[in-house]
Structure 1
Amino acid sequence: MSVVSGLGQVRRTVAYVLAGAVALLSTGCSPGPGADDAVGAARAFFAAVSAHDAEGACALLAPATRESFEQDAVSPCEQALLDGEVGLVLAPVTQRVEEADGRGDSSVTVAGRQAQVLLGGEVTFLAASGGTWLVTATACVARPERPYDCLLEGD
């Protein structure tokens, strides 16, 4: 084996190793969305509700949450969110969130692929999905010794 062919083999081996490392990193070993992204997703949900952008708000719901909401409302998410009882209840919640946003009043706790965002005293739960956060429950009230009671949540 000549020195030139040996260098070619080393280069190919290094190229294969690098290609494998890039593939591995791009298929799930990279970190998911961060805490700031979770706060941003919760804010985006409430901003969409406030702007009467039901399509945008519904797009930010996790699939199971959206499905459960549509079954409970017996209508599509976009219609139920703005026209139904949930929309009426979310209006003052959205106002509190917007007021808190102006003060920078927010906190977030991330545990793995789950997040809890507190905006102006309003609790929203999210789950990482792909490279983003989706709302799994919102307008939640803490109850001592029991799970949160949420206006909008999945099963």
Structure 2
Amino acid sequence: MRIVIQRVSEASVVINKAEVASIQNGLLVLLGVESDDTKEDIDWLCNKIVNLRIFSDENDVMNISLKDCDGDIIVVSQFTLHASTKKGNRPSYIKAAKPDIAIPLYEQFVATLQNTLGKTVQTGEFGADMKVHLVNDGPVTILIDSKNRE
């Protein structure tokens, strides 16, 4: 699994001109699922997201986690995170999981993240054409691949 974490002061997801998710301070997480991803990848990433110390403390030092600051979160599925651009100019998405594998893993990721965080996680809609609006706070943007955890 690959994720892009963006610390935001506000973020929202719009589908067919209707807002389906909206947060103020917190994280926007873009999630790409690969065919060989497992519950172990989900558990590791969810724990990392909730405990990553990327929010500023009283001394303006990134030392506080999402859980510590009671921040909110939106998760958006994004298969293009597994794009291969090694050959030519048209990206290949061969490593991205097909929907029959990706959807259950995406749903399990959201459920695990909710349990780990202890609050509701907002989402986009898997496979939908979404408009994601955000104000990146910092900016702080972090890429994490669960296959590169050692």
TM bucket normalised to smaller: under 0.3
**TM (normalized to structure 1)?**
0.26
Q: Which has the higher helix share?
A: 1
Higher-RCO chain (CA-CA 8 Å, sequence separation at least 6): 2
Q: Which has the larger radius of gyration?
A: 1
Q: Which has the higher strand share?
A: 2
